[in-house]
Amino acid sequence: MDNRIRELRLGRDWSQSDLADVLSVSRQTVNAIENGRYDPSLPLAFTIARVFGLRIEDVFQPEL
């Protein structure tokens, strides 16, 4: 699954650790999601979208 998390995070001038703290996950989890090595659970995906004030579809897109 492709995502815009890195772009959105950098747009707020947040480090991976900053985002991890907001999401209550590890920095390694944020890194893995950003790099496509881990697909978040549905509740975590909705939380990520909510943090950025976006719809889940605006953050995550299926790989083509």
State how far the Cα of 42 lies from the Cα of 30, in Å rounded to an integer. 15
pLDDT recorded at residue 62: 85
Contact 62, 1 (CB under 8 A): yes
pLDDT in tens, 7-64: 999 999 999 999 999 999 999 999 999 999 999 999 999 999 999 999 999 999 987 7
> pLDDT tens for residues 42-57?
999 999 999 999 999 9
Sketch out the chain's domains with CATH numbers.
Answer: 2-55 (1.10.260.40)
Q: Which of 26, 19, 24 is nearest to 59 (CA)?
A: 19
HEC string of the chain equals: CEECHHHHHHHCCCCHHHHHHHHCCCHHHHHHHHCCCCCCCHHHHHHHHHHCCCCHHHHEECCC
User: So what's the pLDDT on residue 3?
Assistant: 96
